[in-house]
Homo-oligomer: A and B are copies of this chain.
Amino acid sequence: MEGSLAGRGARSALPRAALEELSTLLGDRLALGLAEREHHGRGESYHPTVPPDAVCYALGTEEVSRIVRICAAHRLAVIPFGGGTSLEGHVSALDGGVCIDLSRMTGIVAVRPQDLDATVQAGVTRHQLNDHLRDTGLFFPVDPGGESTLGGMAATRASGTNAVRYGTMKDNVVSLTAVMADGSVIRTSSRARKSSAGYDLTRLLVGSEGTLGIITELTVRLYGIPESVTASVCAFPSVEAAVATVVEIVQCGIPIARVELLDPRTVRAVNRYSGTTLAEQPTLFMEFHGSPAATAEQMRLVQDLAEANGVLAVESAADADRRNRLWRARHDVHYAIQAMRPNAKVWSTDVCVPISNLPRCIAETQADIEAASFFISTVGHVGDGNFHLGLIVDPTSAAELAEAEALNDRLVRRALALDGTCTGEHGVGSGKIKFMTLEHGPAIGVMQAIKRALDPEGILNPGKVLPGKVLPALEVDP
């Protein structure tokens, strides 16, 4: 059945020959203990832990290539692992096999201020890169929160709070080095800022979640740290008023750098967790980047729009300390809402719709939120038309999981009917496969054909992204 995991074989331990080859290659960087395997079989969401049969800590592209060659020879599944911050079951070892942990690949290969780019290994985190860049006056903007690695962010086409101004990983990866299913190593493009030389393999691998190749190195775009950064926090009488303000900001073309919605429940959770004292109202966190004159102008325009929508209070935060506390609190929302209930997990929804349809999508979701038997937080990268419900569920309760699934189902169908997507930034993993045919129609057949062509044995992160077991061409209709 589409989206179902039924039919996947039971996990099998690794064959002795494969173990010996991996052990010879990696020594004590091959881990077989259950705790370590279980840690690599889960992300940060409600999905059950499904451990791989072995964990390989790779140090470089060539080593990843050798591991993949061994796995290909033994037809073992290969699952890449970065920061472990996945929300959609990307790292579950559904067919067992080998997890390649890239988090020790933390080399910063080159920073080229003159070209506004940097080349890093896949295990570098955005924090590490930005710390490294501190003295250059440059920064890397994509910011999904958490300790995610740049390789993982590229693999899931991540974005986050800055995307409304700086774009997503799709827009900020210049070139990739990747290991393909047969162990061959490719570089997807040169560092030229634009090229029309053939198929865009960079963008094909970005968002492919380890199912087409394993990203081992990437060149990303850098930006000058803005001369002036200012922030403001606006409390509104209703979610509708807050969202209406955002829609107008975007439609006016104001180049806002961040605009995040938090509903009153989320503000309450943040106050409890982070010790803030924000008014428990629908709230926008906003940030403006530019010259001092430009940020002042942007803030003035936004304040006019907010006032026309009945804003209750506007507080600006020009100093860096206060701003950092604010964004720290925003980034801790995941943990803040999880802390609202002991032993709970967050089931995070992730729809994204054209901005003009955002008010309707959020409004039509209110009844579901009111009726739920568990706490639900609403936060959103609303400038992109993307918002998350955080469903705080007991992962051991079948009833709650069923209720969450039904709610998410209705939400996704609502978003698709509004010309949106089931996932703005978290990716498909195994969690959203069941919506893929609904969202893409016949285009799914094209994706499956690409998967078959690039991974004919289906060893790369099986059971992720695409519905149905992807089999060699002769066994499946194209």
Q: With the chains together, A156 CA to B194 CA distance in Å?
A: 12
Which residues 171-228 of A sit at the B interface, judged by CB distance below 8 A? 171, 180, 182, 184-201, 203-204, 206-208, 212, 223-224
**Chain B residues whose C-beta falls within 8 Å of the C-beta of A450 in the assembled complex:** 199, 204, 450, 453-454
Are B112 and A197 in contact, CB atoms less than 8 angstroms apart?
A: no
Which residues does chain B contribute within 8 Å of A241, judged by CB atoms?
none
CB distance from A362 to the nearest CB of B (A): 14
The stretch among A267-275, A319-327, A415-423 that forms the contact with chain B is: A415-423
Q: Are A196 and B116 in contact (CB under 8 A)?
A: no
Known: A201-B443, A419-B191. A196 touches B449 (CB 8 A): no
CA distance A428 to B198 in the complex (A): 7
Task: Assess A200 versus B170: contact at CB under 8 Å? Given A194-B163, A384-B194.
Answer: yes
The segment from A18-26, A388-396, A432-440 that touches chain B is A432-440
Contact B425 A199 (CB under 8 A): no
**Could you jot down 22 A-B contacts, CB within 8 Å?**
A112-B354, A163-B194, A170-B194, A170-B200, A186-B440, A186-B443, A188-B443, A190-B421, A192-B354, A194-B386, A194-B424, A196-B421, A196-B423, A196-B425, A196-B427, A197-B428, A197-B435, A199-B212, A199-B447, A201-B447, A449-B454, A450-B453
CA distance A446 to B206 in the complex (A): 15
* Chain A 410-468 residues near chain B, CB threshold 8 A: 415-416, 419-428, 432, 435-436, 439-447, 449-450, 452-454, 465-466
A50 adjacent to chain B (CB < 8 Å): no
Say yes or no: A436 contacts B204, CB within 8 Å: no
The 9 lowest CB-CB distance pairs between A and B, nearest first, are A453-B453, A203-B203, A195-B421, A224-B253, A114-B356, A186-B443, A192-B352, A157-B196, A196-B427
Query: Is A291 among interface residues, defined by CB-CB distance under 8 A?
Result: yes
B354 touching A253, Cβ below 8 Å: no
- A190-B439, A439-B190 known; A446 and B386 CB under 8 Å? no
A478 CB to nearest chain B CB (Å)? 8
**A190-B420, A442-B185 known; A198 vs B466 contact (CB < 8 Å):** yes
Q: How many residues of A contact B (CB 8 A)?
A: 93
Shortest A184–chain B CB gap in Å is 5
**Identity of the chain B residue whose Cβ is nearest the Cβ of A180 in the assembled complex:** B446
Is A318 engaged at the interface, CB distance under 8 Å to the other chain? no
Query: For the complex, is A406 an interface residue (Cβ under 8 Å from B)?
Result: no
A247 in the interface (beta carbon within 8 A): yes
Residues on B with C-beta less than 8 A from A364 are none
Q: Which of A227-256 contact B (CB under 8 A)?
A: 247, 250-253
A440 touches B194 (CB 8 A): no
Contact of A421 among B185, B197, B416 (CB under 8 A): B197
Q: Does A48 contact B (CB under 8 A)?
A: no
Interface residue from B113, B184, B193 paired with A445 (Cβ < 8 Å) = B184
0 or 1 for each of A43-86: is its CB under 8 Å from B? (1 = yes): 00000000000000000000000000000000000000000000
Q: Does A297 contact B (CB under 8 A)?
A: yes
Residue of B nearest to A357 (CB): B115
Q: How far is the CA of A134 from the CA of B159 in the complex (A)?
A: 33
In angstroms, Cα B444 to Cα A180, docked, is: 13
**Cβ contact within 8 Å between B385 and A193:** yes
Residues of B within 8 A of A187 (CB): 440-441, 443
A293 located at the interface, meaning its Cβ lies under 8 Å from any Cβ of chain B in the complex: yes
* Residues in B neighbouring A253, C-beta threshold 8 A: 116, 223-224
- On whether A186 and B442 interact (CB within 8 A), knowing A193-B384, A198-B207, the answer reads yes
Interface status of A353 (Cβ within 8 A of chain B): yes
Question: From residue A379, how far is it (CB to closest CB) to chain B in Å?
Answer: 16
Which residue on B lies nearest to A186, using beta carbons? B443
- Contact call A453/B445, Cβ cutoff below 8 A: no
User: Measured between alpha carbons, how far is A465 from B207 in the docked complex, in Å?
Assistant: 24
Considering the complex, give the chain B residue whose CB is closest to the CB of A193.
Answer: B384
The answer to whether the Cβ of A372 comes within 8 Å of any Cβ in the partner chain is no
